[in-house]
Structure 1
Amino acid sequence: MPPSLPPTLRQRRLGAELRKLRERAGLSSTAAAARFGFQQARMSMIEAGRHAVSADRVRAMARSYACADDAFTDALADMTGGRTRGWWDEYREYLPASFADLAELEHHAHGVRVGLVIHIPGLLQTLDHARAVIREAPLQLRAYEVEHRLSHRMKRQAVLHGSSPLPYTAIIHEAALRMQFGGSATVRGQLEHLIAMSELANVAIRVIPFGRGAFPGTGQSIDYVCGPVPQLDTVQLDVAWGCQFIDAEAELARYGAVVEQMEASALDLTESRDFIHGLLRSM
């Protein structure tokens, strides 16, 4: 028998939320397993995201744990079933697992808000800009590793297009717009692409100019990914080894507040578009 695949971020999140519900109900995993007629080991596997669970089972668990939030229960039920392969799974052999998890997270997201100071958001990067950024990664990447990451990043951008495009807000500091990744021609192409993307109904681009002075945040790139209900929101942070995912309630509130404060410091949509046009004219 081939080894089982490790659980995806989505599977782990479902298991973690079921564990939280059980703990809030004051039940041990052994006691909860007994309620549902299976062994404690199976309960542990479910809560680790390593054992598939049906929507009916999730609803039964929520009732048993006295969860009165029907919207939350419905959202959990929608996350059930066996592992469904997406295009991102073909990259698990070549890239850190968190890259595939990020693409899966974006695929199922109900909205994304990002705040960046030094970099253009990955979903808004041109091919040339993305290649220049990836080549400057802290890790010394071989040519084929650069191409794998580049291909993965370009495929992620599909969520912004199609029949049900992802609602996407990008708050970008002027510093990121002025970074000379790839040289002047690449910078010009990137700015032109941002203007074109800002015309899409689902994409909002807000610029924080240098003149706005200090603004909240540490300068770290923040992706705030909205789930079907607020309890299933996720924050994604870029780290040297890939992506870090955060779903603790207090941390979600903290990072959500930072993104909101960054947005409050930014120009409005029209002013932001005019600002990028001005940068292009000055080149």
Structure 2
Amino acid sequence: MATRRHPTARQARLGVELRRLRDSAGLKATEAAALLGVSSVQVSQIESGVAGVSEERVRRLAANYTCTDTELIDALVAMATDRTRGWWEEYRRILPAAYLDLSELDHHATFRHDVAVIHVPGLLQTEAYARALFAYMNPQFPESEVEHRVSHRMRRKVVIEGADPIPYEAVIHEAALRIRVAGRAASRAQLTRILEASEAEHVAVRVVPFGLDDFAGAGSAMVHIGGVVPRLDTVVRDAPHGTAFIDSAAQLEHFRGLFRRVKQASLDADQSRDLINGLIKEL
């Protein structure tokens, strides 16, 4: 199978999970290679996501690694055999790879949780808000570059606004709702959009108010994307060096706990809508 120059985050994750299964079985790459009748170099390429792997080989490896989690194995097979070329492929070589990786993860997600501290979550942003945000954060960008990012962000909303939406929960700090990324009218429209989105059965929006005691926040914005099985969840965070896709079991459990704590500190859905309505009236 041909090698890839730039595997997607999902392709790389498949390799990571196969390596974790091998490590759990206490086998070396050379031993895994013998099981498949390939070289250790090919096993390394599979485990790095540089090379693809067939369903038969995934199942053979899982059997020899004594993995009995059929749901996980089936999920890994689905990742190995998926040939989806989604709408985000239109932006390849136009936008950074992380934008496309996030869209692909959303496409295959079973749920999504957002924690927003400074800015409204991308899936809830209006076009005017997104344009003002991208232009401010990247003043060196030509208008066309900003527009590519805006159009991509608007199309990402299909995961909660399309024909088959996923459950979505956003916990937003009041600061993100009060900061006027764009003008007064745009801010009013943005808050109204959040209220409209929150009316959908599969969407929950909760607000953390300024007046809350003993709340240290989440550090920064956080995205928790649900996999077919919990082991395949992914947490996405912005880091100084770029977007970080987090998938180790210990880190996933840490961020699940962090999301629970932030959610517990927030207002319920009705109280959150009341707070947002109050902010609209102030504008």
Q: For this structure pair, what is the TM-score category when the shorter chain's length is used for normalisation?
A: over 0.9
Q: Give yes or no for contact 2:115–2:223 (8 Å, CA) kept in 1.
A: yes
Which residue number in structure 1 is paired with residue 119 of structure 2? 119
Report the CA distance shift for 1:54/1:3 in structure 2 as closer, same or farther (over 3 A): closer
> How far does residue 269 in structure 1 lie from its aligned partner after superposition?
0.8
Instruction: Give the Cα–Cα distance (whole angstroms) in 2 for the partners of residues 244 and 188 of structure 1.
Output: 32
Q: Indicate the residue corresponding to 2:232 in structure 1.
A: 232
Deviation per CA, 1:205-253: give whole Å up to 9, x if none.
0001111134243430000111111110110012456421111111111
Q: 1:240 to 1:127 in 2, by over 3 A?
A: farther
% identical aligned pairs? 46
Q: 1:76–1:216: structure 2 CA closer, same or farther, 3 Å change rule?
A: farther
Deviates more, 1:44-53 or 1:16-25: 44-53
Counting only pairs closer than 5 Å after superposition, residues 48-127 of structure 1 correspond to structure 2 as 48-81=48-81, 83-127=83-127
Alignment-mate amino acid for residue 250 of structure 2: A
Query: Residue type matched to 2:272 in 1?
Result: S
SS in 1 for 2:164: coil
Q: Given that residues 99 and 243 in structure 1 are in contact (C-alpha distance below 8 angstroms), is that contact kept between their aligned partners in structure 2?
A: no
Residues 1-41 of structure 1: CA deviation (Å, up to 9, x unaligned): x9945111111000110011011111111111101211212
Give the count of matched residue pairs: 282
* Residue 21 of structure 1: aligned partner: 21
Looking at structure 1, the residues matched to 83 and 162 of structure 2 have their Cα atoms a distance apart, in angstroms, of: 24
Letter of the 2:102 counterpart: L
Structure 1 range deviating more: 21-30 or 137-146: 137-146
8 Å CA contact 2:218–2:262 kept in 1: the answer is no
- Within 2, Cα distance between the matches of 1:87 and 1:242? 23
Aligned partner of 2:251 in structure 1 is 251
Bigger mean CA deviation after superposition, 81-90 or 55-64: 81-90
Contact 1:96-1:242 at 8 Å conserved across structures: no
Match of 1:271 in 2: 271
Contact 1:114 1:224 in 2 (8 A): yes
1:56: Cα distance to partner?
2.6
Residue 47 in structure 1 maps to residue 52 in structure 2 = no
Query: Could you list the runs of 4 or more consecutive aligned residues of structure 1 that deviate by over 3 angstroms after TM superposition?
Result: 2-5, 216-219, 239-242
Q: 2:30 — aligned with what?
A: 30
CA contact (8 A) 2:35 2:61 kept: no
CA distance in 2, matches of 1:220, 1:261: 14
CA distance, structure 2, for counterparts of residue 180 and residue 199 of structure 1: 23
Match of 2:281 in 1: 281
Structure 1 counterpart SS, 2:26:
coil
Q: C-alpha offsets along residues 160-215 of structure 1, whole Å, 9 cap, x if unaligned?
A: 12332011100000000001111100000000000100011111000011111342
Q: Which letter does structure 2 place at the counterpart of 1:32?
A: A
Q: Distance in 2 between matches of 1:23 and 1:267?
A: 43
Residue deviations 1:120-156 (CA, integer Å, cap 9, x gap): 0000000000111111215632222111111111111
Residue of structure 1 in register with 2:189 after alignment: 189
Q: Could you tell me which residue of structure 1 aligns to residue 136 of structure 2?
A: 136
Alpha-carbon contact 2:134-2:149 (below 8 Å) kept: yes
Aligned to 1:211: 211
Look up the equivalent residue of 1:228 and give its one-letter code.
V
Distance 1:136 1:70 in 2: 48
Residues 86, 208 of structure 1: CA spacing in aligned structure 2 closer, same or farther, 3 A cutoff? Answer: same
Paired residue for 1:154?
154
State the AA in 1 paired with 2:219.
G
Q: 1:206 and 1:271 mapped to 2: Cα distance?
A: 8
Q: Secondary structure at the match of 1:163?
A: coil
Counterpart code for 2:96: P
Helix, strand or coil: the match of 1:38?
Answer: coil
- Show CA shifts across 1:251-276 (max 9, x none): 11111111110000001111111111
**Residues 166 and 176 (structure 1 numbering): CA distance in 2 closer, same or farther, change over 3 Å?**
same
TM-score, L = length of structure 2: 0.95
Distance 1:219 1:165 in 2: 28
